[in-house]
Amino acid sequence: MPSDPTKLQKTKDIGIPSIAMCVARVPNSGRLIFGSSDFKLHEIDVFAEKPQPTPFGGEGHQSYVTGVVLPAPNVAVSGSYDGQLIWWDVEKREPTRKVKAHELWIRRLVISPDGKTIASVADDMQCKLWNAETGEMLRQFSDHKPITPHDFPSMLHAVAFSPDGKFLATGDKVGHVAIWEATSGSKVATVEAPGLYTWDPRQRRHSIGGIRALAFSPDSKWIAVGGIGQIGNIDHLDAPARIEIFDWQKGERKHELNNDKFKALVEDLVFDPSGKWLLSSGGAGDGFVTFTDVETGKPIHQDKLPMHVHQLALNESYDTVFAVGHHKIAVCEFKATEPPAASEPAKP
């Protein structure tokens, strides 16, 4: 069933006690596993009558959980500001393996399309690849300077696999993106998006921003980079949500999109498998979703969300988005035609 972004409507809005920083969805279900500011992973079935998050137990993380992936049925892997990766038995909700993965804060985890490799990025400016099954580190690489040009610690927030699994992109605070060949770990290209980094040398003398989201186009040829535009008053997230799209092989910037409707940080980017639209989401005081026409770079449809969104998960047919963020989880549908039973949640 094709999707239609203009039909976007919010169908669920669930309050949660903590800030959800990351999410992964159990395939073909409304079951979300999200990592949060209470240092825990939680599971929630958003299609349940009264959705309630259930925390995972055992000795878990020591800080905000900022990345979660599901490499196999019943397996979740999470990463946290505590530098650890933890493998979990989802049924039992208990840890099965812990790996001290990074020296500094892990900012994001992604999993390769074949589910075999997990990539983590952290503020030690390293990208590390892990065997999703054994927990063994496969390799690490970095093209990101630990110190910004203004002598402050830099940060490495974003990582993405290409849909064909061949490439991996990493993006840092100052707007530098490196593209890697996933199997060899060799750098194949770089892209610069300095417009996502605001350094204020005069008024407030620190910086804000950076690359917060990366996504490859379905054909893997383009890469979208998201964050926030140049901020005047860096005390606040007070600039247009900003996306740049590059043909990374040619080193050409195809689009530079400054959202005139939402002043916010882009926290996540998802391409439609057909390559027609790019979904972006994030927030400041509250949140937003924007569908952009990839060809023209013009917004197709956009709307407010009730909370600052930290990560998205989409369903298999790419017509339902599960957004997690500041004390809320929201579900939005954008189906092409109104399916007869869609308003009633499927009972397991």
Partner 1 sequence: MTLSRRGFLNAAALGTAGTFASDMTRLDLLRQTSWADEVKKQGKRVILLWLAGGASQFETFDPKPGRPTGGPYRAIPTSATGVHISELLPKMAARIQQTTAIIRSLNTKNADHGGGATIMETGRIKDPGIEYPDLGAICAKELGRLDSAVPDYVSMYTSTEGRRKGTSGFLGSRYAPMFLSESMQPENIRRLESISDIDHQDRLALRDLLAKKFTQNRHSDSLGSHTQAYQRVRGLMASEKLFDIEQESTEIRAKYGPTQFAQQCLIARRLVEAGVPFVKVARAWWDSHGENFETHRELCADLDHSMSVLLDDLRDRGLLEHTLILTFGEFGRTPNINASLGRDHFAAAWSATLSGCGVRGGACFGKTDEDGHKVADGEVGAGDLFATIFTALGIDPNKEYHVGARPVPLSDFGAKPIKDVLA
Pairing verdict, β 9-25 and 240-247: unpaired
Among 4, 10, 11, 63, binds partner 1 (CB under 8 A): 63
Residue 101 binds partner 1 (CB under 8 A): no
Residue 229 binds partner 1 (CB under 8 A): no
Which segment (67-75, 233-241, 247-255, 335-343) binds partner 1 by CB under 8 A?
233-241
Among 206, 250, 261, 304, binds partner 1 (CB under 8 A): 206
Closest separation in Å from C-beta 35 to partner 1: 11
Closest separation in Å from C-beta 227 to partner 1: 11
Rounded to whole angstroms, the Cα distance separating 77 from 132 reads 8
Rounded to whole angstroms, the Cα distance separating 226 from 257 reads 9
Residue 283 binds partner 1 (CB under 8 A): yes
Which segment (50-58, 182-190, 200-208, 293-301) binds partner 1 by CB under 8 A?
200-208
Q: What is the Cβ-side half-sphere exposure of residue 116, based on CA atoms within 13 angstroms?
A: 6
Closest to partner 1 by CB, 66 vs 217, is 66
CB 238 within 8 A of CB 183: no
Rounded to whole angstroms, the Cα distance separating 232 from 177 reads 24
> Residue 189 corresponds to which amino acid?
A
Rounded to whole angstroms, the Cα distance separating 339 from 3 reads 12
Distances (CA, A) of 124 to 140, 162, 198, 254, 330: 11, 23, 21, 31, 32
Distances (CA, A) of 34 to 39, 65, 163, 295, 311: 11, 8, 23, 33, 9
Which segment (57-65, 112-120, 184-192, 289-297) binds partner 1 by CB under 8 A?
57-65
CB-count burial class (<10 Å; 0-12, 13-18, 19+) for 50: exposed
Closest to partner 1 by CB, 104 vs 314, is 104
User: With contacts defined by CB under 8 A, how many residues of the chain interact with partner 1?
Assistant: 38
Terminus-to-terminus CA distance in the chain, angstroms? Answer: 21
Residue 105 binds partner 1 (CB under 8 A): yes
Closest to partner 1 by CB, 39 vs 141, is 39
Closest to partner 1 by CB, 8 vs 305, is 305
Closest separation in Å from C-beta 267 to partner 1: 10
CB 144 within 8 A of CB 161: no
Which segment (24-32, 45-53, 60-68, 89-97) binds partner 1 by CB under 8 A?
60-68
Residue 49 binds partner 1 (CB under 8 A): no
Among 204, 276, 301, 335, binds partner 1 (CB under 8 A): 204
Residue 152 binds partner 1 (CB under 8 A): yes
CB 269 within 8 A of CB 321: no
Q: What is the DSSP string of 139-168?
A: EEE----SB-TTSSB--EEEEEE-TTSSEE
Closest separation in Å from C-beta 149 to partner 1: 11
Buried b (16+ CB within 10 A) or exposed e, 287-314: bbbbbbebeeeebbbbbebbbbbbbbbb
Closest separation in Å from C-beta 207 to partner 1: 6
Closest to partner 1 by CB, 10 vs 204, is 204
Residue 57 binds partner 1 (CB under 8 A): no
- Report the site for partner 1 in 163-182 (rule: CB under 8 A): none
What does the binding site for partner 1 look like in residue numbers (CB under 8 A)? 17-19, 37-39, 62-64, 81-82, 105, 123, 151-153, 155, 202-208, 210, 234-238, 265, 283-286, 307-308, 326
